[in-house]
Chain A
Amino acid sequence: GAVVSQHPSWVICKSGTSVKIECRSLDFQATTMFWYRQFPKQSLMLMATSNEGSKATYEQGVEKDKFLINHASLTLSTLTVTSAHPEDSSFYICSASSGGGNEQFFGPGTRLTVL
């Protein structure tokens, strides 16, 4: 299957700082990338969908000014959590697909802890 990487795998930051998470598709061109959030013992919730070269589409209830998404190339999308607070602590997972309802492949996730 296709390989998707995420960096960093974990990060601890102070309240009020910003954190950037990278998602890369290593062996295919990802027309569409998705960002999910997963709280402990819960399922994955879609935060936003991004298409290369376009603005991201955010799900209801997700603040676009807090969670900045950039999909600058067919292999890279970034999620920046701005002015992070303890309630933003979560497991963030990206996925990538070649579009058209094709199979999504997931990164290994980034565990964010905000102190």
Chain B
Amino acid sequence: GIQVEQSPPDLILQEGANSTLRCNFSDSVNNLQWFHQNPWGQLINLFYIPSGTKQNGRLSATTVATERYSLLYISSSQTTDSGVYFCAHAQGGSEKLVFGKGTKLTVNP
């Protein structure tokens, strides 16, 4: 089946630092989404990005579908960026999202 691998599993940053989170997937892509799960469990949509590059404020994401990976960039990190970041992927022809295990980000003041 589809495999989604995220790295690193844990990341600790000082406020103001930049970071890159990676998501590798094993099959052709129909849907690739990045989420931030806040401490209350709510999944917040960051990007819907089956291919290409998108930017939203301090966050940006790039998916290279031919090489089966996606990157999430966080610049000038803030303490409120702390939480778990998930990528999820649906293969071509399917709507089912398969989630990676997440990257737990801690941003210290």
CB within 8 Å of B: which residues of A? 1, 32, 34, 38, 42-46, 49, 91, 93, 95, 97, 99-106, 108-109, 111
Contact = CB atoms under 8 A, between A and B. Distances in A.
A83 B99 CA distance: 28
Contacts of A108: 40-42
A107 B48 CA distance: 17
- The majority secondary structure among interface residues of chain B is strand
B43 interface: yes
Contacts of B90: 101
B69 interface: no
Given A44-B99, A91-B41, A101-B94, 20 more contacts: A1-B45, A32-B95, A34-B97, A42-B101, A43-B99, A43-B100, A44-B86, A44-B88, A46-B96, A46-B98, A49-B96, A93-B41, A93-B43, A95-B97, A97-B95, A102-B31, A103-B33, A106-B35, A106-B45, A108-B41
A105 B41 contact: no
A29 to B, nearest CB: 15
Given A43-B102, A93-B43, A106-B45, A101 B35 contact: no
Interface residues of B, number: 22
Nearest to B43: A106
Q: A95, A101, A103 — which one has the most chain B CB atoms within 10 A of its CB?
A: A101
Interface of B: 30-31, 33, 35, 40-43, 45, 48, 86, 88, 90, 94-102
Nearest to A60: B1
A103 B35 CA distance: 11
